[in-house]
Amino acid sequence: MEKNPIIAGNWKMYKTIKETKDFLEKLSSSLNNQRANVYIAPSFISLFFAKEIAKDTKIKIGSQNMHYESEGAFTGEISPGMLKEIDMDFVILGHSERRNVFKEDNSLINKKVLSSLENNIQPILCIGETEKERDSNSTNEVLEDQLTKNLLNVSKTQMKNVIIAYEPVWAIGTGKTATPDIAENAHLYIRKVITKLYDKDIANSTYILYGGSVKPDNIEILLGQHNIDGALIGGASLKIDTFLEIINKS
């Protein structure tokens, strides 16, 4: 890893507004000159309050999802314009839970990626293989298929604002972690695919984060890999002491 790392916390369906405020106040007061760029994705109802606390800090606040349309009869959805109104910095798209639990396919995720870029909201595009796909030696095939379809019609200029997160589905919330070699090989392959889709300069400058049971005791060895530029963290981002330890080790 040669870039200043991105350490992103995906809080999923956890934390009330009060808990969000308390966490971010502690986090903002604890950050000094750490190398890491810190991203936090709270729940929808906490986004406005989170941004208010983070606005004079280096902490970036983003959404865990969004719809691709600007408005319409889409019950329960949030538009990119709504996120822009409260100055969201980024949006997580294609998370394995969106793909597997809510059955979002590559075409839908591609529409969301394009919409986020058109609305100047930085996408963190999540890709990764299931345990079944890994066992059948299909990891590279799956990663290339997801990247090719999810980035369809994304221009070279737009690609400079895209973050990729590799999350092996079998390692999310399971306590299993891809070994540094497994993670590095996947990240290297992702960079090769981006080179093929765009060019080497864009591939080298693209942030590729690792997601999958990241903890204080494995963050240093993961970030020590050449092609791992940061981490997308679930459970370990919910406790302030644990999250700060990860940031400080990054």
Catalytic residue among 104, 129, 167, 184: 167
Total Cβ atoms within 10 A of residue 200: 12
Residue 208's φ and ψ, nearest 5 degrees, are -120, 110
Beta bridge partners of 68: none
Taking alpha carbons only, the member of 23, 21, 20, 94 closest to residue 64 is 94
* Structure-block tokens of residue 239: 């406790």
Residue 168 neighbours by CB under 8 Å, 6+ apart: 128, 129, 134, 178, 182, 183, 186, 212
Residue 233's φ and ψ, nearest 5 degrees, are -115, 130
Q: For helices 180-197 and 139-150, what crossing angle results, to 10°?
A: 40
Beta bridge partners of 3: none
Residue 187 falls in the annotated catalytic set: no
Residue 52 falls in the annotated catalytic set: no
Catalytic residue among 95, 104, 184, 187: 95
Active site residues: 95, 167
